[in-house]
């Protein structure tokens, strides 16, 4: 185990924020992970678990151990003619795993193409896009308890998935390190083309019939059009969750703003935060070194030398103005460290 000191995290978070970790290590196995957890425990240091760094906002230097999970590997643990159970190391890149599944002819994750981040981080916020969420293909995961270093299995129910939410964002917050995730994928894929322009885009790209590759290409195309590439412009995807409001609240807003979109959700209405931020006049606004993306107002960006606290300030100013104008509370999707 190699421990680095005063380590810059700039290249390990997709906002490109230049904060430092007092100590940093990357682990590649359960043994190394346990060793690192024991090391920090002996020293009485807090531990932050880093995956792909695509959903964190670093607001300060971290006076503890930042532990990057680099556990790799993919293994089929069970299969029949219809389905396959595949266990994947938490440190595998999510999109690489999607490509691997597609290459094997396994369906279920093609709509989640091109989402940044690692496999281990994916269940924490139940990543989702174009009508599919990870909960739809999730089987179970193995995690280590940070305190006891004990290994535990969490099945679907234990993860208590919700919209961009799970047990690991609530009661289990900061308590576990996810090491392996097992997915149940289908050898006879059923394509989900219902969301937005997926089907249309697939045809435009010359695919007559749906296939895993056709769906993945269409979704990658749509994402590239709308979402900035973190390698070129620092961002963490959607900064806010889409708020869910009561049907009555929705009706009263709809009378005032007839173009307000809404989707029935959990007994209420889910409305696009992008629409609210756009209507609030924030789309494309630049505040010094940070700003609101010009094509997708749900995404906050760092133009290069921005600080986490600038992004916090911008996000709070946006939330306040949306609260004032529409009476709707915007909740951050990105984790603040
Ligand atoms: N809209 C505007 N103005 C804009 C852009 C969008 O008014 O400039 C409105 C439109 O009405 C549009 C609606 O917002 O129909 C929704 O936009 P979109 O379908 O692009 O989806 P989203 O709500 O912005 C969510 C996820 C994305 C995911 C897409 C596709 C959340 C917080 N975000 O975005 O996830 O890729 O749907 O499924 O749920 C992420 O989590 O990082 C992420 C990118």
CB of 196 closer than 6 A to ligand 1? yes
- Verify whether residue 79 is a known catalytic residue: no
Q: Which of 19, 45, 69 delimits the end of a domain?
A: 69
Which atom of ligand 1 is nearest the CA belonging to 283?
Answer: 8
Measure 117 CA to ligand 1 centroid, in angstroms: 18
Burial (0-12, 13-18, 19+ Cβ within 10 Å), 169: middle
> Same structural domain for residues 253 and 142?
no
Residue with tokens 């409305």: 271
CA distances from 32 to 3, 35, 151, 297 (A): 11, 5, 14, 41
Which atom of ligand 1 is nearest the CA belonging to 55?
Answer: 42
Distance CA 118, CA 67 (A): 14
Measure 200 CA to ligand 1 centroid, in angstroms: 17
Phi, psi of 272 (to 5 degrees): -75, 120
What is the predicted pLDDT for the residue at 47? 96
* DSSP single-letter state for residue 240: B
> Same structural domain for residues 211 and 85?
yes
What is the predicted pLDDT for the residue at 121? 96
- Verify whether residue 238 is a known catalytic residue: yes
Q: Among residues 82, 56, 70, which one has the least CA distance to residue 25?
A: 70
At 241, list the tokens.
């969750």
Beta-carbon contacts of 40 under 8 Å, excluding residues fewer than 6 positions away, are 23, 46, 47, 64, 65, 67
Q: What is the mean pLDDT of residues 78-106?
A: 98
> Same structural domain for residues 196 and 138?
yes
Q: Among residues 256, 260, 288, which one has the least CA distance to residue 276?
A: 260
What is the predicted pLDDT for the residue at 1? 83
pTM of the entire predicted model: 0.93
pLDDT tens for residues 96-138? 999 999 999 999 999 999 999 999 999 999 999 999 999 999 9
Q: Among residues 269, 264, 284, 286, which one has the least CA distance to residue 326?
A: 269
Residue with tokens 């230049």: 18
Residue with tokens 């509370």: 329
Instruction: Check: CB of residue 230 under 8 Å from CB of residue 14.
Output: yes
CATH number for the domain spanning 132: value is: 3.30.465.10
Distance CA 284, CA 281 (A): 9
Q: Which of 161, 191, 226 delimits the end of a domain?
A: 226
At 232, list the tokens.
């070129």
> Same structural domain for residues 244 and 222?
no
CATH number for the domain spanning 22: value is: 3.30.43.10
> Same structural domain for residues 185 and 101?
yes
Instruction: Check: CB of residue 324 under 8 Å from CB of residue 241.
Output: no
Instruction: Check: CB of residue 93 under 8 Å from CB of residue 52.
Output: yes
- Residue 147: strand, helix, or coil: coil
Distance CA 71, CA 180 (A): 8
> Same structural domain for residues 82 and 185?
yes
- Give the DSSP H or E segment for 75: strand 74-79
> Same structural domain for residues 121 and 178?
yes
> Same structural domain for residues 64 and 78?
no
How many domains does one find in the chain? 3
Residue-wise DSSP of 28-48: -SHHHHHHHHHHHHHHT--EE
> Same structural domain for residues 176 and 263?
no
Distance CA 80, CA 85 (A): 9
Measure 181 CA to ligand 1 centroid, in angstroms: 27
What is the predicted pLDDT for the residue at 203? 96
pLDDT tens for residues 56-79? 999 999 999 999 999 999 999 999
Instruction: Check: CB of residue 260 under 8 Å from CB of residue 254.
Output: yes
> Same structural domain for residues 125 and 250?
no
Neighbours of 33 (CB within 10 A): 25
Residue with tokens 């529409």: 326
Neighbours of 40 (CB within 10 A): 18
What is the predicted pLDDT for the residue at 128? 96
pLDDT tens for residues 184-226? 999 999 999 999 999 999 999 999 999 999 999 999 999 999 9
Q: Which domain holds residue 42?
A: 4-69
CB of 243 closer than 6 A to ligand 1? no
Q: Which of 195, 226, 257 delimits the end of a domain?
A: 226
CB of 299 closer than 6 A to ligand 1? no
> Same structural domain for residues 81 and 222?
yes
Q: What is the mean pLDDT of residues 155-176?
A: 96
CB of 253 closer than 6 A to ligand 1? no
Cα-based angle 88, 89, 94 (whole degrees, multiple of 5): 75
pLDDT tens for residues 274-311? 999 999 999 999 999 999 999 999 999 999 999 999 99
CATH number for the domain spanning 275: value is: 3.90.78.10
> Same structural domain for residues 16 and 147?
no
Q: Which of 54, 99, 142, 164 is catalytic?
A: 164
At 228, list the tokens.
């900035």
């Amino acid at each position: 185990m190699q421990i680095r000191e005063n380590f810059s995290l700039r290249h390990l978070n997709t906002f490109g924020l230049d904060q430092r970790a007092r100590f940093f290590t990357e682990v590649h196995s359960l043994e190394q992970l346990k060793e690192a957890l024991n090391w920090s425990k002996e020293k009485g240091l807090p531990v932050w678990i880093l995956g792909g760094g695509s959903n964190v906002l670093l607001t300060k230097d971290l006076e503890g151990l930042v532990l990057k999970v680099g556990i790799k590997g993919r293994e089929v643990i069970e299969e029949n003619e219809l389905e396959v159970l595949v266990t994947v190391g938490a440190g595998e890149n999510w999109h690489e795993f999607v490509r691997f599944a597609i290459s094997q002819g396994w369906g279920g994750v093609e709509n989640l193409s091109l989402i940044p981040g690692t496999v281990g981080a994916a269940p924490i916020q139940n990543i989702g896009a174009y009508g599919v969420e990870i909960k739809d293909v999730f089987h179970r995961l193995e995690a280590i308890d940070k305190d006891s270093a004990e290994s535990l299995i969490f099945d679907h129910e234990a993860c208590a998935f919700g919209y961009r939410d799970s047990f690991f964002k609530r009661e289990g917050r900061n308590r576990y390190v996810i090491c392996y995730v097992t997915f149940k994928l289908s050898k006879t894929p059923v394509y989900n083309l219902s969301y937005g322009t997926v089907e249309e885009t697939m045809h435009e790209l010359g695919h007559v019939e749906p296939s895993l590759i056709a769906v993945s290409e269409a979704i990658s195309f749509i994402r590239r059009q709308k979402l900035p590439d973190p390698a070129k412009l620092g961002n963490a995807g959607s900064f806010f969750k889409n708020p869910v409001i009561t049907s009555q609240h929705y009706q009263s807003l709809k009378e005032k703003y007839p173009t307000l979109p809404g989707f029935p959700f959990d007994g209420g209405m889910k409305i696009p935060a992008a629409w609210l931020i756009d209507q609030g006049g924030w789309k494309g606004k630049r505040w010094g070194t940070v700003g609101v993306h010009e094509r997708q107002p749900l995404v906050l960006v760092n133009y290069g030398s921005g600080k986490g606290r600038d992004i916090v300030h911008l996000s709070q100013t946006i939330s306040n103005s949306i609260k004032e104008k529409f009476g709707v509370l915007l909740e951050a999707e990105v984790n603040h460290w």
